[in-house]
A and B are shown apart, each in its own frame.
Chain A
Amino acid sequence: DAKTTQPTSMDCAEGRAANLPCNHSTISGNEYVYWYRQIHSQGPQYIIHGLKNNETNEMASLIITEDRKSSTLILPHATLRDTAVYYCIVSGGTSYGKLTFGQGTILTVHP
C-alpha cells in the first residue's frame, strides 16, 4: 500500500471548517483513499473514501487532486466532538481489506 504523509497536529475553532491534508504521491491506479478517525481510545471510525472524484457524505467531504497525489478531508462545521486523530489511508489492489494506519493528524477543536 502507498505511504501517506499527514501533519502531526492541527487546531480548528468550533463552527469553522477543518481542512486536513494528506500526501500520497506513490498511490497506484487501483488504490483508494480512505479517511478514518479515532476518538480517544475508541475503535477507529470510517469517515469517507474515494478513488479520483470528490466525494461528500453526511460527515465530511473528500477532495482528491487530479493527479491523485494528495487529498484533503473537510469537516465543514467542526464541533468539539470532532476532536480526534484522523487517519488518511491508501488501500486497495491485492490487499484483502488490510488498512495500514499511520500516526495520523491530531485535530483539536477549540471552543
Chain B
Amino acid sequence: EPEVTQTPSHQVTQMGQEVILRCVPISNHLYFYWYRQILGQKVEFLVSFYNNEISEKSEIFDDQFSVERPDGSNFTLKIRSTKLEDSAMYFCASSDYPHSYNEQFFGPGTRLTVL
C-alpha cells in the first residue's frame, strides 16, 4: 500500500539554526500539506500546496517557514531560524483532491527538538 514517508524521524537542532524537513508524498497525489503537533496539544494546520504554490496557510506559517517541491517526488518544509517554540512533531500529508473526494494520507512525522 502506498504511503507518505518523512525524514528524518527525529531532528535535534540549536536555536537559530535552519532545518529542512523532508517528505515523499504518495506518487500520484497532487495536494500536499504540513501540520504540526506540539507535545500534548492539538494537530495544527500549517500550509497546503498545489501546482507549485501555496494554496492556503495558517497564521503559524510566518516568514520563518517556507515550502518547496524541489523535484517530482520530495516536498520540504524549511524553518529558517528555529525557535524553542518550534519544537513539535511535524506531519506531512498528501491527497488526490483538496477535500471532499479523498482523504489525506499522513506520514509518520518528524520530531523536531530545538535546544
Residues of A in contact with B (beta carbons under 8 Å apart)? 32, 34, 38, 41-46, 49, 51, 87, 91-92, 95-103
Task: Tell me the complex Cα distance, A15–B104, Å.
Answer: 28
Partner of B42 from the list A32, A42, A98, A103 (CB cut-off 8 Å) is: A103
Task: Tell me the complex Cα distance, A98–B103, Å.
Answer: 11
A25 CB, nearest partner CB in chain B, Å: 20
Main secondary structure of the interface of B (DSSP, over half): strand
Closest to A94 in B: B56
Asked whether A96 lies within 8 Å of B50 as measured between CB atoms, the reply is yes
Q: Which residues in chain B, 42-97, are within 8 Å of chain A measured between CB atoms? A: 42-45, 48, 50, 55-56, 58, 89, 91, 93, 95, 97
Could you list 26 examples of A-B contacts with CB < 8 Å? A32-B99, A41-B89, A41-B109, A43-B91, A43-B107, A43-B109, A44-B43, A44-B91, A49-B103, A92-B99, A92-B100, A96-B48, A96-B50, A97-B31, A97-B55, A97-B97, A97-B98, A97-B104, A98-B33, A98-B58, A99-B33, A99-B45, A99-B104, A101-B42, A102-B42, A103-B42
Asked whether B43 lies within 8 Å of A97 as measured between CB atoms, the reply is no
Closest to A42 in B: B108
Task: Tell me the complex Cα distance, A41–B48, Å.
Answer: 22
Residues of B in contact with A (beta carbons under 8 Å apart)? 4, 31, 33, 35, 37, 42-45, 48, 50, 55-56, 58, 89, 91, 93, 95, 97-100, 103-109
A99: chain B residues within 8 A (beta carbon): 33, 35, 43, 45, 104
A96: chain B residues within 8 A (beta carbon): 31, 48, 50, 55-56, 98-99
